């Protein structure tokens, strides 16, 4: 089947022969121009002048005499025009940026559609006033603001166009409007202009084509198929039906390839996004060299590029990728974000927020290469300061003492003038990253791209004297990062071609593989941002959502119309769930009743699984010796709970004595907050030991408990840390919890409960003799009991908890090791406390054991441990408890039971969570 551009090349040569110097060709994309030149050369068979090849955008620039501005420059030019219009009322640049992108796009679109601006903006102002007309009410403040906004935008539109025209530049829309005006006035440059493979033309573009047809120099070449052109219900033909109705059928005969051709379609459902890429890789792996050379991989979802690169077979051969990797999605993006967050959290005269400092220093760029050890040393010094905000001078001294070069210290300069200071700080940060990642070519390229962006910002700030705050600077940098790409080079005329949907226009590969063929990507959701109400867009002939869908439908079907094979891959977990509606249309319309031309599969490809290595510690002599030493020194209730939860985490914590990461957390550590609560409650209740509680001291403590908790926390934390952010919230929550408990216990006493505190913070220890006899090693059980009291004659041992506890956590249906595992760690702890207390207090016959969870809002009643015989534990239960504890100890030392992670554990600190 003859490719469309090959047909165009033959038609051009048939009319002009080798005299192509005065011929212009307007195509949908630069890539199509490359292929057209290739076909002209092949069809001519000898050297000749190439025609001038344009995209529709560059053709409009040529006619208008205006150049298209980069988006960031247009943003700044727009602000200059806005300030001229609004004067003293103009908002700062940062606020302007919030609405400027959408407004400038609307301005450009109005020009491209040749909208009469006076009536257009009058209609926009009137739109807000209509509600006032119908309701007979005065305009609300918001309506007044919108009327003023549209008045301002109308003036901004005129001022911006005048400003840009004077400079010889313009928005895309202004360029097209100007081209439409100038096309009929300028002397002809080309003898003939070929308009090839175009589809949805704007009114300005139509005006230009109409002029060239009027003077007889236009040649039309439509890339269409009867299947969607002849059927009005087919949205793919919507724009072409209009264009061909206006400009004629063109010189390339319309085909009927979709209906009569040999296209075979396979739809593939993949388990997830990554599996799509590996499915494509598998298809290419089994393709011949000739098949690969005629294959296009089209990414409807361009975020799949990176997984696709990993999935391509190593022996693929020539490969060309038209798109690049988005810089903002690479590590350099998070590095710049961490830098901006660092300075956004800085307090002048106070310093940098500690957590932001740690976040920046912990970035992978700075934790590799020759500077990694120096950064780690500096982090240790900084962390030891234990301050919420760290002065810049302290940070800079830490870097100097760690041997880091000046760039590192300069990153932590307090910036007072954003325009002058932040580009300099950013330059130092990029220099640091460059030196830290020396030898890593990919990281170096990322830093280079960020440096180019910094240079562009520097040039913009040098040219435009706009005031910039840090938020606006960061937003501008982020916007430019989002447009930057790391190019991936290749041979555009050989091998597998990887491209986006737009790049596939006018090309005719034999085999097409589409990734991301799900609803939302194919077509895209079409949610174009615009401030123009739908009714006014329709009234003024501006594009609507159905027009955008029609464009995407055409691009999709045009891509298939000369292909021999197409594979459309979509992920099962797509949102909204399901394949693209274009696939469903093919199934129920084009391929209906055509056996063998459409097949559906579920992907079955070997996606490499990435699993953490399973950590298993064998109980060799060294491990058993360490466990025995721990048992001899004493096994606490909390340690026992850790073993029951996860033996591997217990081994790391208790046997190997690993320390938790010292990463800075802006919150108060849970153990520190718990100790403060324990200490404060002890201070309240210790004077009351040995006598029945009265409500008066408890009510008095409600007023003093806050100061007590803060005093306890003040022993470990600076005062400024407790008065802001998360620590402030945690202190308030702890105070409120303690106050609720005190009020509740006072109310219980007032209602007749007789509660007598007997002891507080009781240290208990007792040998577990049964276990010692079983294993031949001394075993000591020990722990500290928070509170012992008597309620209405029943003695209770109580453990204070600041976290959440439920009654089900304390209920045991049987006294077995298996019953203690899972979420029963608190029940296990209470069993140990009960056994210890009854062993150490032979005069006590029975107790109840429970937990006082301070997070319970309305009760001072403890949650009691529930055993098979009830909540009261007598001395008769001691042997059963001791046998249970002995079995636990025996298992701890059983060499046949390896030390490994329990996958049900939710509280591991050290061991890897494994499936």
Return mean pLDDT, the chain.
90
Question: Residue 613: which pLDDT band, with cuts at 50, 70 and 90?
Answer: low
The Cα 254–Cα 558 span in angstroms is 12
Q: What integer pLDDT is reported at residue 832 of this predicted model?
A: 95
Q: What integer pLDDT is reported at residue 914 of this predicted model?
A: 44
Specify the 3-state DSSP secondary structure of 314: coil
Question: Residue 550: which pLDDT band, with cuts at 50, 70 and 90?
Answer: very high
Does domain 4-66+190-255 fall into CATH 3.90.650.10?
A: no
Q: What integer pLDDT is reported at residue 726 of this predicted model?
A: 80
Question: What are the tens digits of pLDDT across the range 101-112?
Answer: 999 999 999 999
Alpha-carbon radius of gyration of the chain: 37
Report, as an integer, the average pLDDT of 535-551. 91
Q: What integer pLDDT is reported at residue 407 of this predicted model?
A: 79
Contact 849, 833 (CB under 8 A): yes
Least confident of 310-314, 593-597, 678-682, 863-867: 593-597
Least confident of 228-237, 831-840, 901-910: 901-910
The Cα 623–Cα 655 span in angstroms is 8
Comparing 409 with 837, which gets the higher pLDDT? 837
Least confident of 52-66, 536-550, 601-615, 641-655: 601-615
Both tokens of residue 242? 């209009």
Kindly give, in sequence order, each residue whose CB lies less than 8 Å from that of residue 226, ignoring residues fewer than 6 positions away. 254, 255, 256, 259
The Cα 224–Cα 862 span in angstroms is 78
* pLDDT above 90 as % of the chain: 66
Domain segments of the chain: what residues? 4-66+190-255, 70-170, 262-324+490-602, 328-486, 621-900
Residue 446 half-sphere exposure, CB side, CA atoms within 13 Å?
A: 25
Report, as an integer, the average pLDDT of 121-134. 75
* pLDDT above 70 as % of the chain: 94
Shortest CA distance to 573 belongs to which of 278, 306, 273, 276?
A: 273
Kindly give, in sequence order, each residue whose CB lies less than 8 Å from that of residue 701, ignoring residues fewer than 6 positions away. 684, 742
Q: What integer pLDDT is reported at residue 864 of this predicted model?
A: 94
Comparing 290 with 902, which gets the higher pLDDT? 290
Q: What integer pLDDT is reported at residue 915 of this predicted model?
A: 40
Question: Residue 913: which pLDDT band, with cuts at 50, 70 and 90?
Answer: very low
Instruction: Say if strands 780-791 and 755-767 run parallel, antiparallel, or are unpaired.
Output: antiparallel
Question: What are the tens digits of pLDDT across the range 339-388?
Answer: 999 999 898 888 898 889 999 999 999 988 888 888 888 888 888 776 77
Instruction: Say if strands 218-221 and 192-196 run parallel, antiparallel, or are unpaired.
Output: parallel
Both tokens of residue 211? 């002029």
Comparing 603 with 878, which gets the higher pLDDT? 878
Distances (CA, A) of 386 to 338, 398, 598, 715: 21, 14, 66, 13
The Cα 487–Cα 502 span in angstroms is 17
Distances (CA, A) of 274 to 319, 570, 724: 20, 11, 43
Both tokens of residue 578? 């399901």
Shortest CA distance to 717 belongs to which of 703, 728, 702?
A: 728
Is 142 a residue whose pLDDT tops 60? yes
Say if 4-66+190-255 and 262-324+490-602 have the same CATH topology. yes
Question: Residue 610: which pLDDT band, with cuts at 50, 70 and 90?
Answer: low
Question: What are the tens digits of pLDDT across the range 397-429?
Answer: 888 888 876 778 889 989 999 999 999 999 999
Phi, psi of 415 (to 5 degrees): -90, 120
Query: ω into residue 325 within 30 of 0, thus cis?
Result: no
Fold classified for 621-900 = Lambda Exonuclease; Chain A (3.90.320)
491 class by beta-carbon count within 10 Å (0-12 exposed, 13-18 middle, 19+ buried): exposed
The Cα 780–Cα 785 span in angstroms is 16
Is 877 a residue whose pLDDT tops 90? yes
Kindly give, in sequence order, each residue whose CB lies less than 8 Å from that of residue 244, ignoring residues fewer than 6 positions away. 222, 224, 229, 250
Question: What are the tens digits of pLDDT across the range 144-160?
Answer: 888 899 999 999 999 99
Instruction: Say if strands 780-791 and 794-801 run parallel, antiparallel, or are unpaired.
Output: antiparallel
| CATH class of the domain whose range is 262-324+490-602 | alpha beta
Dihedral over alpha carbons 833, 836, 837, 840 (to 10 degrees) = -160
Helix (H) or strand (E) holding 335: helix 331-344
Instruction: Say if strands 295-299 and 496-500 run parallel, antiparallel, or are unpaired.
Output: parallel
Phi, psi of 555 (to 5 degrees): -60, -40
Question: Residue 912: which pLDDT band, with cuts at 50, 70 and 90?
Answer: low
Comparing 132 with 701, which gets the higher pLDDT? 701
Specify the 3-state DSSP secondary structure of 473: helix
Q: What integer pLDDT is reported at residue 856 of this predicted model?
A: 64
If you ran DSSP here, which 8-state letter would residue 570 be given? Answer: E
Question: What are the tens digits of pLDDT across the range 748-787?
Answer: 999 999 999 999 999 999 999 999 999 998 999 999 999 9
CA 840 to chain centre: 57
Q: What residues form DSSP beta bridges with 900? A: 616
Question: What are the tens digits of pLDDT across the range 724-736?
Answer: 778 888 889 889 9
Contact 685, 760 (CB under 8 A): yes
Is 7 a residue whose pLDDT tops 80? yes
């Amino acid at each position: 089947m003859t490719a469309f551009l090959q047909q165009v090349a033959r038609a051009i040569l048939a009319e002009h022969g080798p005299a192509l110097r005065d011929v212009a060709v307007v195509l949908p994309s630069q890539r199509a121009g490359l292929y057209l030149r290739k076909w002209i050369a092949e069809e001519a068979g000898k050297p000749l002048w190439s025609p001038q090849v344009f995209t529709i955008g560059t053709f409009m620039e040529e006619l208008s005499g205006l150049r298209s501005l980069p988006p960031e420059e247009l943003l700044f030019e727009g602000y200059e025009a806005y300030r001229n219009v609004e004067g003293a009322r103009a908002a700062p640049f940062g606020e302007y940026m919030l609405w400027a992108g959408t407004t400038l796009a609307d301005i450009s679109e109005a020009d491209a559609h040749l909208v009469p601006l006076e009536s257009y903006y009058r209609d926009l102002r009137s739109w807000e006033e209509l509600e006032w007309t119908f309701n007979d009410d005065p305009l609300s403040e918001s309506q007044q603001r919108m009327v003023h906004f549209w008045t301002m935008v109308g003036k901004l539109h005129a001022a911006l166009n005048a400003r840009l025209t004077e400079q010889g530049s313009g928005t895309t829309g202004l360029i097209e409007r100007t081209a439409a005006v100038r096309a009929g006035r300028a002397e002809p440059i080309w003898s003939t202009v070929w308009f090839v493979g175009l589809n949805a033309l704007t009114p300005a573009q139509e005006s230009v084509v109409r002029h060239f047809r009027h003077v007889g120099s236009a040649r039309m070449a439509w890339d269409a198929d009867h299947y969607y052109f002849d059927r009005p219900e087919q949205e793919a033909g919507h724009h072409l039906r209009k264009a061909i109705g206006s400009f004629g059928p063109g010189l390339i005969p319309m085909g009927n390839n979709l209906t009569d051709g040999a296209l075979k379609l396979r739809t593939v459902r993949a388990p997830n996004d990554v599996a799509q890429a590996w499915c494509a890789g598998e298809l290419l792996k089994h393709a011949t060299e000739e098949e690969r050379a005629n294959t296009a991989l089209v990414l409807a979802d361009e975020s799949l590029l990176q997984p696709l690169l990993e999935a391509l077979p190593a022996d693929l051969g020539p490969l060309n990728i038209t798109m690049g990797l988005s810089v903002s999605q690479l590590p350099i993006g998070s590095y710049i974000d961490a830098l901006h967050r660092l300075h956004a959290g800085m307090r002048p005269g106070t310093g940098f927020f500690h957590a932001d400092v740690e976040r920046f220093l912990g970035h992978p760029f700075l934790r590799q290469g020759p500077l990694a050890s120096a950064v780690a040393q500096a982090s240790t010094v900084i962390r030891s300061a234990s301050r919420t905000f760290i002065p810049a001078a302290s940070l800079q001294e830490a870097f100097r003492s760690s041997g880091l070069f000046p760039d590192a210290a300069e990153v932590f300069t307090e910036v007072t003038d954003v325009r002058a200071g932040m580009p300099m700080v950013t330059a130092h940060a990029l220099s640091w990253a460059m030196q830290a990642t020396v030898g890593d070519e990919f990281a170096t390229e990322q830093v280079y791209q960020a440096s180019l962006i910094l240079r562009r910002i520097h040039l913009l700030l040098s040219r435009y004297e706009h005031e910039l705050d840090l938020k606006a600077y960061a937003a501008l940098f982020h916007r430019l990062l989002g447009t930057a790409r790391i190019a991936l080079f290749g041979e555009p005329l050989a091998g597998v071609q990887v491209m986006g949907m737009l790049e596939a226009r006018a090309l005719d590969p034999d085999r097409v593989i589409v990734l991301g063929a799900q609803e939302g990507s194919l077509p895209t959701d079409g949610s174009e941002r615009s401030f123009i109400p739908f009714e006014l867009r329709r009234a003024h002939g501006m594009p609507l959502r159905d027009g955008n869908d029609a464009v995407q439908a055409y691009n999709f079907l045009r891509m298939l119309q000369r292909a021999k094979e197409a594979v459309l891959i979509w992920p099962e977990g797509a949102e909204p769930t399901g394949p693209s509606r274009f696939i469903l249309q093919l199934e129920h319309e084009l391929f209906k009743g055509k056996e063998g031309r459409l097949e559906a599969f579920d992907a079955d490809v070997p996606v490499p699984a990435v699993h953490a290595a399973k950590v298993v510690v064998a109980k060799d002599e060294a491990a058993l010796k360490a466990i025995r030493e721990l048992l001899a020194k004493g096994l606490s209730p909390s340690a026992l709970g850790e073993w029951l939860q996860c033996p591997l985490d217990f081994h790391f914590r208790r046997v190997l004595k690993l320390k938790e990461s010292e990463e800075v957390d802006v919150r108060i550590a849970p153990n520190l907050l718990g100790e403060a609560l324990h200490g404060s409650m002890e201070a309240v209740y210790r004077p009351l030991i040995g006598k029945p509680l009265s409500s008066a001291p408890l009510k008095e403590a409600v007023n003093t408990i806050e100061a007590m908790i803060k005093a306890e926390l003040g022993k470990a934390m600076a005062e400024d840390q407790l008065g802001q952010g998360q620590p402030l919230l945690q202190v308030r929550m702890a105070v409120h919890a303690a106050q609720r408990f005190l009020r509740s216990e006072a109310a219980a006493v007032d209602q007749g409960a007789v509660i007598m505190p007997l002891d507080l913070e009781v240290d208990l220890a007792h040998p577990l003799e049964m276990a010692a006899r079983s294993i031949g090693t001394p075993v000591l059980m020990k722990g500290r009991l928070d509170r012992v009291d008597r309620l209405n004659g029943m003695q209770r041992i109580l453990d204070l908890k600041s976290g959440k506890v439920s009654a089900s956590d304390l209920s045991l249906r049987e006294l077995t090791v298996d019953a203690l595992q899972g979420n029963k760690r608190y029940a296990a702890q209470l069993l140990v406390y009960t056994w210890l207390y009854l062993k150490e207090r032979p005069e006590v016959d029975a107790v109840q054991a429970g937990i006082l969870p301070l997070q319970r809002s309305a009760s001072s009643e403890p949650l009691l441990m529930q055993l098979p015989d009830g909540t009261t534990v007598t001395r008769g239960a001691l042997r059963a408890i001791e046998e249970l504890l002995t079995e636990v100890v025996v298992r701890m030392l059983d060499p046949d039971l390896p030390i490994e992670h329990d996958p049900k554990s939710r509280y591991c600190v050290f061991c890897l969570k494994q499936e």
